[in-house]
Structure 1
Amino acid sequence: MIGNRSVDRSRIVGSFRGSAPVAFRIACGHPLQTNPRSWIGPKSVQSRANRLGALGGRRHPVSQTMAISLAMAISLAMDRSMQSPILIVGAGPVGLAAALSLSRFQIPLRIIDRNEAPTTLSKALVLWRRSIINLDPVIPYEDWLACGLVPKGLRFFDQGAYQATMTLENGAHVLPPGLLIPQSKIENRLIEALKQQGVTVERQTSLESFVQHEDRVVCQLQTPDGAEELETPYLFGCDGAHSTVRHSLGLNFSGESIAYRWLLGDIEVEVEDGVNPHAPKSEYERTLDHGWLYSTNSDQGSLQLFPITDTRYRIFVEAGVADPTTPRQDPTVQDLQAALIERTRLQWKITDSHWLADFRINERQVSQYVHGRVFVAGDAAHVHSPAGGQGMNTGIQDAVNLAWKVALVWKGDASPALLETYQEERHPVAERVLKVSGRAMRMTMSTNRLTRGVQDVIQSIVTHIPAVRKMVTSILAEDDVAYLHSSLAGESEGNVKPGMTLPDVPIEIDGQVCSSIALLRPRKLDAVYTLLLMSETKPDAWPGSPLVQVVRFGQDFQDPQRNFNQALGLHSNSGLLIRPDATIAASGAPAVIQDWLDQWMESTAR
């Protein structure tokens, strides 16, 4: 209250943070680029009141009492606004990755999920290199290596007969192209890391509705204790293909449903000679060769096998045309064993099952990911064919891309314009995944022998030309995902361009060989960006900011084989500014780095 009049504190805060006259903000004791967290607290109320009292001048004086009341209202409203947690809806891999990435920057948040517990099903099976890199600042890549299986490659069959083998080409990388890890394990590791940050998933809690205002989103939740209203500065919709957030926004999930049915099973297998009457024609058909993926085409349809453990595999069986109205019917172990016998020569007996499902494929994407203070990510924004295992990975990368941008804006270290680059960078990535995975799935679906003959030729090329194998591996690992045309891509020199990911090559830190990605791990509390200097130039020659941590060749790491130097191709007096998602922001002389910081950061003072 001011006098006996009510004050709309949200309107005060909204104008104070954005559209208020410059004089008003200066009068409150804050330069234009001050972190808004410093606007909060009793220490500043009196000085803020003094300046408010002087605003009216001699003709329109503001009483000291009114000035103090107004200053306190601003402080209270700002405190409420800044402490209100960001709300993440959905605690699958995408929501968990978003929460973990926000908590890295000490952002208050809540993450809710309508389910009683995390999934126990394997669901997605592979974590590709780019996702491992994106998550490294919060979960070191060594943790994933300890619990995942490195895929060796793919073996192709046609009508049960072995055709070719394609190994995955890793080149100079330290990290493998990907790791076979069930989604349940990935979720558990993310949850564990979140708990270490003091964040717990709120289970059996759902978002019922929300109303977006200029300065906040008011959400209606249903919790185990009843209804709750929550005000949040930002709302993340990571709630899957049937997203409440997407539906509430009224977004068109444009695309199509593929009119086919697939049978899925997570099965235990063992070798048993004679279980398949089709005699094996290669050694691969009478052994369990751990780490290899199998793909076969036949007149009856396609079948794929993906290793989970030494004896557990995921099996996909194409099961014919089915329109959306066709009832779903989960397969039996006998159905899957019959498919193995009918379409392969594998002498594998299914001994047990952990998950059996009938599933359909949708290819859909919303046109816009950013809606004011509300965002959609992962399956809430795009769904596509499982070919290539890109779905979960694309969603995790959505989450990491969005989280660091929201964190900076929330802290007042960047303009809200930064949030628009989430749409700019991530929408084209999912759009491409839709096209590539859809094309790959349709190729495997063909029962036409002429078409399959063309596929055999393609497979022969892929398996015999190293450069093509390397390209395919890069696509699967998502090494080729880049934001070269993003507004955030600054000036550059050398081999790596802004928008590309920092190369993963061997370096030495404290005498130990590791991936260059380890250079991006947080070294100080408020650091957001990493400034990489490839010479022993003193840091004083470079832009300084609390948001930037400096890593220097010679002092912080060694490059004895010059792998890193060759990959970067930088001049010795150049620097590389790297974003929290391991993406190059800018490279070149100190002035180039400073220009980028000045353009995108609200506060870059030393």
Structure 2
Amino acid sequence: MHTNGTSPSAATGEAEYVPVLIVGSGPAGLTTALSLARQGIRSVIVTRHATQAHTPRAHITNQRTVEILADLGVEAEVSAAGYVLEEFPNNPFMLTFAGPEAARCTAWGGGLKDQSRYRSASRHLPLDLSQHLLEPILAKAAVDTGLVDLRYRHEFLSLDQDETGVRAAIQERRSGREYVVHCEYLVGADGARSKVMQQIGLQLHGLRDLATNCTAWLDVDLTPYTAHRPAAIYWAVDLSLPSWTMVHPWHQWVANWGIKPGHVPDKDEVIAKVRESVGDPHIEVGVRSIGTWTINQVAADQYSVGRVFCMGDAVHQHSPANGLGSNTSIADGYNLAWKLAYVLTGVAGPALLETYSPERAPVGRQIVDRTLQSGADLLTLGTALDIDAAGPESRIWERIRSLHDATPEAAKRRDKVAAMMRLLDYNFNAHGVELGYRYDVVRPEVGRDDDVDDRRTSDDLTYVPSTALGEHLPHASVEFSRRRLSTVDLVGHGRFTVVTGRGGEEWVAAADEARRRFGIPLTVRVIGTADGYQDVLGEWERVRGIDDDGCLLVRPDGHIAWRAQSNPGGQALLDAIAIVLGRAQGAGGTEPVSAVGHGTKDADPRAAEPVDALAD
């Protein structure tokens, strides 16, 4: 439910209780709350703001994020709200919209050279989905579960924690009243100026104040300049002019350009800048909002202290290069939520939560480093075009217009531009970064995983599917009951999954025992048998990394927790599950536990129901 008034505890002076308190209602916080709710865990979200994001902000939504959103049950909504980036494949670099185009590449799997690798990696294609459209989808889905209390205009003030829980002081901003929330765990998803992060003493490391930018959300009809070269972003070669992000084709945009620190352009200055960038001094311009922001390239080495966990911009901040901001934040929440749920229900020990920082902090650092390099690469385009020292504006135009002349000088510049476009693939088609991040997971030294080493050795550009420990389960098409399915859709929904094949009967029996012994939500998927999922094209066999009778143990977030290339016996799986859950080092003597613990109610039925009748 939404609560914009005073909380119950404000009137009584008593602390109210909730299993998880989430500070911040952006993509990270909403993903955490929705994922928890899908697993039956109540949470309260507090945000000092009056609404969700009211400007477009982040917009590139990559394949892994769309997979996560599908698992959370909002696939139809995000697909309807977003634009498939494959339909906007161009990436033009221009002086003005009406003026000459200097270069063009393709982006986010949209071009013919990249479509096959993107399409073979996931059943989902990347979307252009602005944050002001995504956040309400997540908020509605979370509130509709009946397990999420989303409180606008409620500001987090302070916290203290001990071994029994966390107490947080909250202020209802309308009335000024303060109240206390007692929770088992607190999540700080409160952005780049995170109070939660400051209070638990986390430090960000890296570069600050690299550039200041103005962002203007605009209504301006650019159909004559854009419809023939559809793109999500139109880039300015002259860095004094804006680059443009499409919000709705071809009349709603965000323009972004560099400004001096401390300067806030007014409406007249924005309109003048827009008309200069378009190349039409009379074009009608509607200004929805104007804002400024600063580029930082910083990340924390540790994301949690005790019972308090931070995520999103609180612990990693970077430029928009590569389009990784909201994607990384959503993945933070998705990683943490299932672990909180398993600990709160008593299925896992508290040690499971200690894996959050070691798994997500390296990913955050990778993103910061990648976007720093990508931003620097973008700035060298002027050098490739030989316009950095070209002098007056007329000289810059002449250099661009002469790029295709039949002269040795122009040929050399064309070669430089072509090399630059290949380098920018690491900015716009960095598939290995988008889809291929791997966690350094807890390594149960049981089974026979170490017999095979197929961990990815690819660079940021290339995603190589793998079932090595810490990878997310690769996509492969399988069939069941005349339906075509992705292997990615066979896992998740808040459950562990055992994936095996012909001769995997011992794994099926061990899974039954694991449910009884640990109270673990666990699904079995058998691929390759006559009555199981059919690998009709051999796609699964090519990526599975195990023999027919081998086994994969897949976590609720889709990442590989353990595998056995072939069958060493079902006890190995029980031992692995015990270690992954932070229970006894080995399964002997472990008592059964209830799957419902303190702070939960019956789980969302869609989270518990198997995809089909062969799930269990």
TM bucket (normalised to shorter chain) is 0.7 to 0.9
Query: Are the structure 2 counterparts of residues 385 and 488 from structure 1 closer, same or farther at C-alpha, using a change threshold of 3 Å?
Result: farther
Query: Are the structure 2 counterparts of residues 389 and 459 from structure 1 closer, same or farther at C-alpha, using a change threshold of 3 Å?
Result: farther
Query: Are the structure 2 counterparts of residues 354 and 513 from structure 1 closer, same or farther at C-alpha, using a change threshold of 3 Å?
Result: farther
- Out of 493, 497, 506, the position equivalent to 1:530 is 497
For the 8 Å contact 1:150–1:176, the answer to whether it is kept is no
Q: With structure 2 as the length reference, what TM-score do the two structures score?
A: 0.73
Say whether 1:307 aligns with 2:246: yes
Say whether 1:412 aligns with 2:379: no
For the 8 Å contact 2:217–2:288, the answer to whether it is kept is yes
Structure 1 stretches lacking a partner, 5+ long? 1-79, 274-284
* Mean Cα deviation higher: 301-310 or 388-397: 301-310
Deviation at 1:565, TM superposition (A): 2.5
Larger radius of gyration: 1
- Out of 472, 475, 479, the position equivalent to 2:431 is 475
Amino acid at match of 2:25: A
Question: Counterparts of 2:204 and 2:372 in 1: how far apart (Å)?
Answer: 17
Structure 2 stretches lacking a partner, 5+ long? 1-13, 388-411, 455-465, 593-616
Say whether 1:238 aligns with 2:193: no
- Out of 500, 520, 543, the position equivalent to 2:511 is 543
SS of residue in 2 equivalent to 1:408: helix
Question: Counterparts of 2:192 and 2:21 in 1: how far apart (Å)?
Answer: 18
Say whether 1:155 aligns with 2:91: yes
Question: Counterparts of 2:488 and 2:420 in 1: how far apart (Å)?
Answer: 29
Query: Are the structure 2 counterparts of residues 311 and 373 from structure 1 closer, same or farther at C-alpha, using a change threshold of 3 Å?
Result: same
- Out of 523, 527, 543, the position equivalent to 1:567 is 543
1:216-265 Cα shifts (integer Å, max 9, x gaps): 11111113562212211111001111111112223333333334332323
Deviation at 1:443, TM superposition (A): 2.6
- Out of 61, 64, 75, the position equivalent to 1:141 is 75
Q: Where does residue 88 of structure 1 map in the other structure?
A: 22
Query: Are the structure 2 counterparts of residues 99 and 349 from structure 1 closer, same or farther at C-alpha, using a change threshold of 3 Å?
Result: same
For the 8 Å contact 1:88–1:112, the answer to whether it is kept is yes
- Out of 300, 313, 331, the position equivalent to 1:397 is 331
Deviation at 1:580, TM superposition (A): 1.2
Deviation at 1:352, TM superposition (A): 2.9
SS of residue in 2 equivalent to 1:85: strand
RMSD over aligned CA atoms reads 3.4
SS of residue in 2 equivalent to 1:233: strand
1:76-99 Cα shifts (integer Å, max 9, x gaps): xxxx99974211111111111011
Deviation at 1:355, TM superposition (A): 3.2
Question: Counterparts of 2:282 and 2:364 in 1: how far apart (Å)?
Answer: 37
* Mean Cα deviation higher: 438-447 or 372-381: 438-447
Question: Counterparts of 1:248 and 1:427 in 2: how far apart (Å)?
Answer: 19
SS of residue in 2 equivalent to 1:507: strand
Deviation at 1:381, TM superposition (A): 1.1
For the 8 Å contact 2:244–2:256, the answer to whether it is kept is no
Say whether 1:334 aligns with 2:271: yes
For the 8 Å contact 1:261–1:358, the answer to whether it is kept is yes
Query: Are the structure 2 counterparts of residues 469 and 261 from structure 1 closer, same or farther at C-alpha, using a change threshold of 3 Å?
Result: closer
For the 8 Å contact 2:74–2:137, the answer to whether it is kept is no
**Residues 224-373 of structure 1: pairs in structure 2 closer than 5 A:** 226-271=177-222, 285=225, 287-298=227-238, 300-301=239-240, 303-320=242-259, 322-323=260-261, 326-329=262-265, 332-341=269-278, 349=283, 351-373=285-307
Report the number of matched residues: 502
Say whether 1:218 aligns with 2:167: yes
Deviation at 1:357, TM superposition (A): 2.3
SS of residue in 2 equivalent to 1:328: coil
Question: Counterparts of 1:272 and 1:177 in 2: how far apart (Å)?
Answer: 25
- Out of 437, 441, 455, the position equivalent to 2:375 is 441
Q: With structure 1 as the length reference, what TM-score do the two structures score?
A: 0.74
Deviation at 1:592, TM superposition (A): 4.3
Deviation at 1:597, TM superposition (A): 0.6
Q: Where does residue 181 of structure 1 map in the other structure?
A: 129
- Out of 487, 499, 502, the position equivalent to 2:442 is 487
Question: Counterparts of 2:162 and 2:559 in 1: how far apart (Å)?
Answer: 32
Question: Counterparts of 1:296 and 1:368 in 2: how far apart (Å)?
Answer: 37
Question: Counterparts of 1:116 and 1:379 in 2: how far apart (Å)?
Answer: 20
For the 8 Å contact 1:270–1:348, the answer to whether it is kept is no
Question: Counterparts of 2:90 and 2:533 in 1: how far apart (Å)?
Answer: 36
